[in-house]
Structure 1
Amino acid sequence: MKIAVLNGVNLGALGTRRPEIYGTLTLGDITSGLASAFPTVEFDFRQTDHEGEMVGFVRAAASSDGLILNPGAWTHYAYALHDALEPLEIPKVEVHISNVHAREEWRRHSVVSPAVSAVVAGMGPYGYHAATGYILAREGT
């Protein structure tokens, strides 16, 4: 079982960027915790602040068994990301560490959500675990 875990813009700054909202764990802490919790899963962890590179990561994820995507601010305006996700025929989960629906009005709309199988928001780093469990359940493992 191989799951691509793609993190978008500003997620490389986790641990220092707005810890009152996103917590103090770094992206490295989150990925190592996920790998420890699911030792039989082969994860492909990637992060970029460049939208075109993320589109390439999404296309490459087509060969995975599932995709977990935290697009960061791209959630709200990256139609190119939506279009890259749409044809993938694997379980795709959009993850947000904070509850975007309880924050600013502009954060409450996702152009990515219509192209994914499920959305997890507001569960902190555990959202990645929930997304993994969902993918494993969908794949019957």
Structure 2
Amino acid sequence: MDGTTIVWIATLMAVAAALYSSVGHGGASAYLAIMALFSVAPETMRPTALALNLVVATFAAGRFALKGQTDWPILSAFAVTAVPAAYIGGSMELAPSIYRPLVGAMLLLAAVRLFWQPERLAARPAHPPSLAVTLPAGAALGLLAGLTGTGAAYF
């Protein structure tokens, strides 16, 4: 990979990091999309996106926590199973023939979900989920996050 390509990738990732962190996310989906556009190898994509996501999400989460905008009980209820599952998923090796379609499907589903009845979803009342929901959901989302190199906030 030549120097110009690396500069373009780094610039795009810096812009993505700034935009995503402003709303409390780490930007893994953007990093993955950028690397896919530049044909970066899957074995490089996943750990790079995950590492960048952890750094940016830590800064974003810290800013939100300092402003008192973090619901610690709900966060803990998801994290108790998501963190170990993400570690397990991150430890697994996926063949490029599985990894690329999985990431592509996740990006596509997230885009579809973003535009699917946004007003109705925003207007619905919010209720804290029970542990019967948060524990298995956290494990499933953590595993997917680890397998793909995305952060759990993506889901």
Band of TM-score, shorter chain: under 0.3
TM-score by length of 1: 0.26
TM-score by length of 2: 0.24
Structure showing greater Rg: 2
Between 1 and 2, higher relative CO (CA 8 Å, sep ≥ 6) is seen in: 2
Write 1 or 2 for the structure with the bigger share of strand: 1
